């Protein structure tokens, strides 16, 4: 039956674009997530504005510490994606127990990362952070700021872990408004306490970068309290009380972990390559390079919101159709979503170029060299937006059907075999600037889009995982 669906020649007659109502539904899922991330990133931009007022060194310290926090954040996001593949399909199949098991997976695997997180933040922060500043002419000064920041930010670990699992699970079943409200309140809290603690307003002590860390911890704690209230009030279908939390179906847990391990491998390879690239370009000068590059990403995050929205909307739409067993509809939706993403990526390029006008307003206190680097990077990343948006949708489609091999074999494979050696060679044997270095290595993403295109045509993602996992579990029983 599955082969007949896959070989159905009628697919060729599917129009390139879907109906207006289809895209309205997709935007209905994507826009609240984008808005949520936009609010977070706007507040992050305000945070950067406040920290930038302390100078290049302070901003560089926060950025270097943030790079390690980024690794932890990517891990959590990967765990949420892995559990979300199953949670969304179980939602489509109306299997509440399966949804609960997927939610338990997220929480357990998220908390499992707390041991290495503790080691990095509290035990060996300076030793680990120094790896990102090899060759930097102001490394010691930057490390002083980075260590003081990360030792306080450590305390946001557990609240952020649980909040991310809760928020992603709500999005997996199409409930996107509650996370948005919680994010707005939490980010406003963060902004307020940044203003109070960084510069010592309202009689508070002037804490500098340590104040920014304390504000983050307070905001994450508030966010967790809000999600707990939302869960107790709404009782979503995957809701699990404390007493039944440890009722884990370890066989299903293992199946989710098996699928998720390839996603985790792919994402960790990517984050390693990003961290390595950061370490290489950080060594291309002093605090001006570090602060200029970090400022560019703070601006670019305003249009990077497209990634989370597109990924989540695509995963929910495709995953729900697959879970319902409507494979033919999922094939059509794949074509419509990718076409829409191509257009949307071009729109985000224009939006990205417009954000360059914010640079002198937000980061006017940085050095002239830092501002020049920031502007060049924002322009460069804007032109990569069509590629990145399209590639995000391709990954979401593959993973929605449990095809995690596409990312592991192609994305991670190319990164290991080509990108990482290229970064090392450029770093060792050339003196190219940080912007040129970043642009050269990102050309590989264009190649990945074409490889993903041919991989998706194999339709290995066109699977109803809820039926397959039930059959596997029955066979093992």
Of the pLDDT bands very low, low, confident and very high (cuts 50, 70, 90), residue 444 is very high
For residue 353, the model assigns a pLDDT of 95
Q: Is the pLDDT of residue 376 over 70?
A: yes
Least confident of 214-218, 266-270, 455-459: 266-270
User: Tokens in use for 251?
Assistant: 């066989």
Of the pLDDT bands very low, low, confident and very high (cuts 50, 70, 90), residue 347 is very high
Residue 157: domain span: 25-472
Q: Is the pLDDT of residue 240 over 90?
A: no
Of the pLDDT bands very low, low, confident and very high (cuts 50, 70, 90), residue 456 is very high
- Average pLDDT of the chain, as a whole number: 84
Of the pLDDT bands very low, low, confident and very high (cuts 50, 70, 90), residue 387 is very high
Q: Please report whether residue 376 resides in a domain.
A: yes
For residue 10, the model assigns a pLDDT of 46
Q: Please report whether residue 90 resides in a domain.
A: yes
Report the share of the chain in percent with pLDDT over 70.
Answer: 93
Q: Is the pLDDT of residue 381 over 80?
A: yes
Q: Is the pLDDT of residue 7 over 80?
A: no
Q: Please report whether residue 197 resides in a domain.
A: yes
Least confident of 120-124, 338-342, 343-347, 444-448: 120-124
Q: Please report whether residue 19 resides in a domain.
A: no
For residue 122, the model assigns a pLDDT of 85
How many domains does one find in the chain? 1
Least confident of 42-46, 123-127, 164-168, 180-184: 42-46
Q: Please report whether residue 331 resides in a domain.
A: yes
Average pLDDT, integer, range 402-412:
84
For residue 469, the model assigns a pLDDT of 53
For residue 92, the model assigns a pLDDT of 82
For residue 48, the model assigns a pLDDT of 66
Q: Is the pLDDT of residue 1 over 80?
A: no
Least confident of 79-88, 316-325, 459-468: 459-468
For residue 11, the model assigns a pLDDT of 44
Q: Is the pLDDT of residue 102 over 70?
A: yes
Q: Please report whether residue 15 resides in a domain.
A: no
C-alpha–C-alpha distance, residues 303 and 319, integer Å = 25
Of the pLDDT bands very low, low, confident and very high (cuts 50, 70, 90), residue 295 is confident
Q: What are 59-75's pLDDT values in tens digits? A: 777 778 877 787 888 88
Average pLDDT, integer, range 443-462:
91
Q: Please report whether residue 3 resides in a domain.
A: no
For residue 260, the model assigns a pLDDT of 80
Average pLDDT, integer, range 30-37:
80
- 41-45, long-range: CB < 8 A, 24+ apart: 41/298, 41/301, 41/302, 41/304, 41/305, 42/187, 42/302, 43/187, 43/188, 43/190, 43/191, 44/298, 44/301, 45/298, 45/299, 45/301, 45/302, 45/358, 45/362
For residue 473, the model assigns a pLDDT of 47
Q: What is the pTM of this model?
A: 0.74
Average pLDDT, integer, range 144-163:
88
Least confident of 86-90, 223-227, 345-349: 86-90
Q: Please report whether residue 17 resides in a domain.
A: no
């Amino acid at each position: 039956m599955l082969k007949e669906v896959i070989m159905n020649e009628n697919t060729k007659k599917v129009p390139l674009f879907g109906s207006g109502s289809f895209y309205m539904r997709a935007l209905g899922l994507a826009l609240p997530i984008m808005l949520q991330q936009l609010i977070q990133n706007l507040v992050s931009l305000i945070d950067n504005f406040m920290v930038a007022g302390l100078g290049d060194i302070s901003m560089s310290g926060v950025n270097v510490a943030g790079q390690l926090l980024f690794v932890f954040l990517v891990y959590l996001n990967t765990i949420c994606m892995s559990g979300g593949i199953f949670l969304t399909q179980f939602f489509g199949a109306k299997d509440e127990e399966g949804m609960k098991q997927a939610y338990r997976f997220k929480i357990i695997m998220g908390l499992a990362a707390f041991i290495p997180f503790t080691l990095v933040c509290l035990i060996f922060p300076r030793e680990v952070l120094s790896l990102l500043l090899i060759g930097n002419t102001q490394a010691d000064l930057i490390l002083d700021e980075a260590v003081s920041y990360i030792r306080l930010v450590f305390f946001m670990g557990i609240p952020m872990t649980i909040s991310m699992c809760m928020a992603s699970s709500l999005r997996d079943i199409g409930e996107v408004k509650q996370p948005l409200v919680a994010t707005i309140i939490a980010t406003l809290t963060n902004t307020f306490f940044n203003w109070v603690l960084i510069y010592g307003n309202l009689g508070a002590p002037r804490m500098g970068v340590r104040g920014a860390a304390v504000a983050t911890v307070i905001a994450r704690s508030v966010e967790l309290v809000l999600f707990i209230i939302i869960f107790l009030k709404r009782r979503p279908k995957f809701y699990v009380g404390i007493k039944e939390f440890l009722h884990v179906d370890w066989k299903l847990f293992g199946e989710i972990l098996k699928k998720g391990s390839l996603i985790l491998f792919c994402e960790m390879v990517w984050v390693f390559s990003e961290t390595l690239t950061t370490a290489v370009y950080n060594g291309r000068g002093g605090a001006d390079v570090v602060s200029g590059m970090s400022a560019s990403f703070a601006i670019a995050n305003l249009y990077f919101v497209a990634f989370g929205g597109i990924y989540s909307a695509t995963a929910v739409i495709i995953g729900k159709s697959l879970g319902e067993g409507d494979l033919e509809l999922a094939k059509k939706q794949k074509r419509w979503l990718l076409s829409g993403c191509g257009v949307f990526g071009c729109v985000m390029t224009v939006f990205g170029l417009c954000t360059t006008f914010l640079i002198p307003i937000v980061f006017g206190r940085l050095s002239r060299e830092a501002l020049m680097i920031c502007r060049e990077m924002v322009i460069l990343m804007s032109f990569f937006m069509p590629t990145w948006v399209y590639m995000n949708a391709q990954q979401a489609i593959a993973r929605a059907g449990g095809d995690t091999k596409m990312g592991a074999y192609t994305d991670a494979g190319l990164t290991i075999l080509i990108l990482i050696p290229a970064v090392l060679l450029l770093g060792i044997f050339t003196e190219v600037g940080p912007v040129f270095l970043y642009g050269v290595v990102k050309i590989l993403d264009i190649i990945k889009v074409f490889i993903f295109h041919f991989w998706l045509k194999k339709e290995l993602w066109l699977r109803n995982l809820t039926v397959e996992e039930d059959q596997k579990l029955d066979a093992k029983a």
